[in-house]
Amino acid sequence: MGDTTDGTGALGVLLLADARLPTGAHAHSATLEAALAAGLRTEQIPDYIRARLRGVARAEAAAAVLALRAARENPVDFAPIQAALAARTPSRALRDASASLGRGLTRLARGLFPEHSAVAALATAPDDTPGLRVLRPIPLGALGAAFGMAVDQVARAALYDEAQCVAAAALKLRPGDPIAATRWVVDAAPDIEESVRVAVGATVPGDVPARSAPQLDRWAGAHAYSTRRLFVA
C-alpha cells in the first residue's frame, strides 16, 4: 500500500467542510446566539458543542448517511428520510434552520451536478412533509453520492460542520482567541467519532436518533421571536 488514498470522495470532503462553500452557512450559529442570550457562559461552549453533537447533529448525520445510501438506489426516494427527521425535530425554528441550509446545498448540488439522479430526486424529497422544504442532510447525502464519498465521510462532514459552526459563531458573539475556539473543535473529536459510528449504523429512516433537547428547542423558539439578532438561527 502506498502512502496516499485513492482520492475517492476526497475533494468532496474538503469542499463540504469548507466555510467558503457558497451555501449560506455563515449566517448560522447552531442556536449558539440564543443560548448565550439565555445565559450560557463562554466557558460552557465546549459542553454546548458536545450536547449538539450528541443530539441534533447526530440525527442530521444519520439522516445524511441514509440519504447517501438512498442516493445510490434506483429510483432515488428521499421522502421517508425527510419525514423521519421532521418527526424527530419538534421545533419549527430548528426545522427552518435546517431547511435554510438545505436550500443552499440544494442550489449548489443542482449547479454542480444537474444530471445526477440523486440531485434530480431532491425535488420530491418533501413529498411526505407538505410545507417543509428540503432539510440539510438530504442534499448533503446527494452531494456525497455525486462526489463518490463514503458514508462515514458524509457523517463526519455534517458533525464537523456543526462543531465548527458553533466555534466560528462564538468568535463573532464573544470575541476571543481563535486558537482556543479551534481547540474546542479538536477536543470534540471523540464525540464526533462516536456520533459518526451511530450515524453509519442507521439503515432505515426509523433509525434516525430522536434525542430530545427541550432547552435547545426553547432557545431556538426564543431566537425566532427575537428582533435583535446577528445570526438567522
Residues that bind other proteins (CB under 8 A): 31, 35, 40, 44, 47-48, 50-52, 54-55, 83-84, 86-92, 95, 128-129, 131-132, 209-219, 221-222, 224-225
> How many Cα atoms within 13 Å fall on the side-chain side of residue 203?
1
Shortest spacing between CB 101 and other proteins, in angstroms: 16
- Taking the least distance from each CB to other proteins, the nearer of 15 and 222 is 222
- Taking the least distance from each CB to other proteins, the nearer of 84 and 125 is 84
> How many Cα atoms within 13 Å fall on the side-chain side of residue 6?
5
Shortest spacing between CB 194 and other proteins, in angstroms: 12
Shortest spacing between CB 131 and other proteins, in angstroms: 8
Is the separation of the CB atoms in 166 and 29 below 8 Å? yes
Of 194, 232, 195, the closest CA to residue 63 belongs to 195
Shortest spacing between CB 99 and other proteins, in angstroms: 10
Shortest spacing between CB 12 and other proteins, in angstroms: 29
- Taking the least distance from each CB to other proteins, the nearer of 65 and 84 is 84
Question: What is the spatial distance between Cα 162 and Cα 168, in angstroms, rounded to a whole number?
Answer: 10
For cell 428521499, the residue is: 78
Residues 6+ apart with CB under 8 A from 214: none
Residues 6+ apart with CB under 8 A from 30: 52, 162, 165, 166, 169, 233
Burial of 21 (0-12, 13-18, 19+ CB in 10 A): middle
Shortest spacing between CB 2 and other proteins, in angstroms: 42
- Taking the least distance from each CB to other proteins, the nearer of 50 and 107 is 50
Shortest spacing between CB 40 and other proteins, in angstroms: 5
- Taking the least distance from each CB to other proteins, the nearer of 89 and 153 is 89
- DSSP string of 150-163, one letter each residue: -HHHHHHHHHHHHH
Of 33, 61, 231, the closest CA to residue 160 belongs to 61
φ, ψ dihedrals at 28, nearest 5°: -110, 145
- Taking the least distance from each CB to other proteins, the nearer of 40 and 66 is 40
- Taking the least distance from each CB to other proteins, the nearer of 23 and 98 is 98
